[in-house]
Amino acid sequence: MKLCNNIKRCRFDNDDMSQEALAKEIGVSRQTIISIEKSKYIPSTLLAFKIARFFNKSVEEIFYVINEKN
Protein backbone atom coordinates (compact mmCIF):
# COMPACT_ATOMS: atom_id res chain seq x y z
CA MET A 1 0.00 0.00 0.00
CA LYS A 2 1.27 3.44 -0.90
CA LEU A 3 -0.17 6.88 -0.36
CA CYS A 4 -0.12 8.86 -3.59
CA ASN A 5 -1.47 12.29 -4.40
CA ASN A 6 -2.60 14.72 -7.07
CA ILE A 7 -0.82 17.76 -5.66
CA LYS A 8 1.24 18.30 -8.82
CA ARG A 9 -1.89 18.26 -11.00
CA CYS A 10 -3.69 20.57 -8.57
CA ARG A 11 -0.78 23.01 -8.71
CA PHE A 12 -0.90 23.06 -12.51
CA ASP A 13 -4.66 23.57 -12.41
CA ASN A 14 -4.09 26.43 -10.01
CA ASP A 15 -2.34 28.81 -12.45
CA ASP A 16 0.84 26.68 -12.63
CA MET A 17 1.53 27.36 -9.00
CA SER A 18 5.12 26.68 -7.99
CA GLN A 19 6.10 24.32 -5.18
CA GLU A 20 7.64 27.31 -3.41
CA ALA A 21 4.37 29.28 -3.53
CA LEU A 22 2.35 26.31 -2.29
CA ALA A 23 4.85 25.72 0.49
CA LYS A 24 4.54 29.35 1.56
CA GLU A 25 0.73 29.19 1.55
CA ILE A 26 0.65 25.98 3.59
CA GLY A 27 3.45 27.06 5.93
CA VAL A 28 5.98 24.33 5.21
CA SER A 29 9.30 24.15 3.38
CA ARG A 30 9.56 23.57 -0.37
CA GLN A 31 11.45 20.35 0.33
CA THR A 32 8.45 19.05 2.28
CA ILE A 33 6.13 19.68 -0.70
CA ILE A 34 8.63 17.93 -3.00
CA SER A 35 8.76 14.90 -0.68
CA ILE A 36 4.95 14.71 -0.40
CA GLU A 37 4.50 15.02 -4.17
CA LYS A 38 6.96 12.19 -4.76
CA SER A 39 5.21 10.10 -2.05
CA LYS A 40 8.48 9.93 -0.11
CA TYR A 41 6.89 11.50 2.94
CA ILE A 42 3.40 10.84 4.33
CA PRO A 43 1.98 14.10 5.67
CA SER A 44 0.14 14.34 8.96
CA THR A 45 -3.67 14.46 8.88
CA LEU A 46 -3.55 18.17 9.68
CA LEU A 47 -1.18 18.92 6.81
CA ALA A 48 -3.25 16.78 4.43
CA PHE A 49 -6.35 18.79 5.38
CA LYS A 50 -4.46 22.08 4.96
CA ILE A 51 -3.39 21.08 1.44
CA ALA A 52 -6.88 19.87 0.50
CA ARG A 53 -8.51 23.01 1.88
CA PHE A 54 -6.09 25.21 -0.02
CA PHE A 55 -7.18 23.63 -3.32
CA ASN A 56 -10.87 23.63 -2.23
CA LYS A 57 -11.01 19.85 -2.49
CA SER A 58 -11.62 16.98 -0.13
CA VAL A 59 -8.68 15.00 1.26
CA GLU A 60 -9.75 11.97 -0.82
CA GLU A 61 -9.57 14.03 -4.00
CA ILE A 62 -5.96 14.90 -3.27
CA PHE A 63 -4.69 11.74 -1.59
CA TYR A 64 -5.37 8.14 -2.57
CA VAL A 65 -3.97 4.74 -1.75
CA ILE A 66 -2.59 2.31 -4.32
CA ASN A 67 -1.59 -1.31 -3.92
CA GLU A 68 2.10 -1.46 -4.85
CA LYS A 69 1.75 -5.05 -6.14
CA ASN A 70 -0.48 -3.80 -8.98
Instruction: Name beta bridge partners: 2.
Output: 66
| Secondary structure class of 60 (helix, strand, coil) | helix
Q: Which stretch binds other proteins (CB under 8 A): 1-9, 10-18, 29-37, 58-66?
A: 29-37
CB of 22 to other proteins, least distance (A): 13
CB of 44 to other proteins, least distance (A): 5
Residue 35 in the binding site for other proteins (CB under 8 A): yes
CA distances from 18 to 21, 27, 32, 66 (A): 5, 14, 13, 26
H-helix or E-strand containing 65?
Answer: strand 63-66
Residues contributing to the site for other proteins (CB under 8 A): 27-32, 34-35, 38, 40-41, 43-44, 47
